[in-house]
Amino acid sequence: MAISFGGINTGLPPNLVDQLVEAERIPIKNIETKKAKASEKLGLVNQLDEKLRAINENMSSLADSGGFRDMLLKSGDPTIVDGSVDPEKADTGRWNLEIVKLAEKAGAMSNLLPDTNSTELGVGYLRFETEDGDKEVFINGENNTLENVAKAINRAPINMRATIVQEKGGDEKGYRLLITHKEIGEEHPIDFPTVYMLDGDQDFFFDIKREASNGKIKLDGFEMEIQDNVIRDLIPGVTLDIKKQAPGEVITLGITEDFEVIAGKVKAFVDTMNEVLSFIQSQSKIDGNTDTSRTLGGDNLLRTVENRLRSLIQNPVVGIQGNYKRLSEVGVEFNRNGTLSYNDEKFQSALQSNPYDVHALFVGDGLSVGIIPTTKRTVGTLIDSSFGVIPNRKRGLQTNIDQMDRRIEGMERRVSQREQTLKRQFANLESTMSRLKQQGALVQAKMGGAGGGIGGLNFGGSSGGDSGS
């Protein structure tokens, strides 16, 4: 019987190393899948954290004792006088106001000029006698057109404003320079300017002047002077913006509680609470297709947050004066789906009939009792960076993710080393098999082919069996 060594080769697939390395990476992929799920959970906890913080941010407009109030100024003719109210200083009431005369700025207007940027007005200066002393604006040959004179006055630190006005009607057409003091009233007088200009193409002077003057108003029939057309605290907490004079015309001003704004603030509070409650309900829905490893479904964190918010809404508020002790009594209560409903009609009715009782329910003492202080305290406990359940859960998930990152890094390093080892081993194997193949071919050649075997051994091709049979 002949034994054949011909056709020696490894016969291994060319991507064998890749297949082996891929098998080595299976545990890494399993950890990466767990990490992805943990990251998704961390993202959901971050969403919950943001929604809780939004509740406390919403409280900022309601938090202090005056924040729950809002006032509205109603003017009988807003084209004559309008204004705004500081709800912490103002109180409700009605007043009669007559604008006898507006307060006016000091001002002056120049003679008529034909253009704004061609006619040269000469060189020299303009002198203004102000409450702060004499002020001068110098004009040279580079800035002596009407346009440039206006720019020079506006740039100078003299509290003046220069404006070019155009006259189109009548026989006189052209441009004038109007200069006014920036402040209103007799406290800001000015002697409008003395002009010292030489070698101009045309004379330049101010021929129309107006002195600063105080205004006059009548409040509930009593006449008084005003130094500005924006009057602060004539009525406590009220800023009046007088737009034009109307002697003989009495305007009624009224300050009332702005119930619409207050209701809007409470509605915003309910909306931010519902953002959290809706998130909890959506995460708590579990069916046959729910992968709770990627959601917060069944998580104790959701139950903790929901229970505390429910207690906040449903429990009576203790330590306050007034008829209302629960939010449900003013139109805020839970639906069957676990979120809050807001009944605007019920809230407005309670607010208009018992505004101080509604205020007491929400604001309390501004510190420890009342819906607003209790909400801030409850949410603050949940999101407290040191011991709050939300930050603690975030830290736990992040720690788990960091640990998996380190494990993945170490395993990737070992797989990389294993890959290099396998490549080196298979390269050596291929090299060895190649040499053996070459040696077999050489031996076969030296033996003279298939008929020149030694001792019955055949180094040529395939075995021919027993030739003597």
pLDDT of residue 434: 77
Residue 214 to residue 126: CA distance in whole angstroms: 26
- pLDDT(429) > 80: no
| Most trustworthy range by pLDDT among 171-175, 319-323, 392-396 | 392-396
- pLDDT(453) > 50: no
Determine the average pLDDT of the residues in 311-319. Answer: 90
pLDDT of residue 258: 85
User: Residue 49 corresponds to which tokens in the numbers above?
Assistant: 């954290």
Query: E strand or H helix at 47, and its extent?
Result: helix 26-59
Q: Which range, of 55-69, 107-121, 209-223, 401-415, averages the lowest pLDDT?
A: 55-69
Contact 72, 85 (CB under 8 A): yes
Higher pLDDT, 365 or 397: 397
User: pLDDT digit string (tens) for 264-279?
Assistant: 889 999 999 999 999 9
Determine the average pLDDT of the residues in 413-428. Answer: 83
- pLDDT(1) > 90: no
pLDDT of residue 468: 42
Contact 226, 99 (CB under 8 A): no
Residue 140 to residue 200: CA distance in whole angstroms: 11
User: Residue 44 corresponds to which tokens in the numbers above?
Assistant: 């959901």
Instruction: State how far the alpha carbon of 301 is from the alpha carbons of 44, 80, 349, 380, in Å.
Output: 11, 59, 38, 15
Quick one: which of 315, 333, 335, 334 has its CA closest to 325?
A: 315
Residue 178 to residue 169: CA distance in whole angstroms: 17
pLDDT tier for residue 134 given thresholds of 50, 70 and 90? confident
- pTM here is 0.62
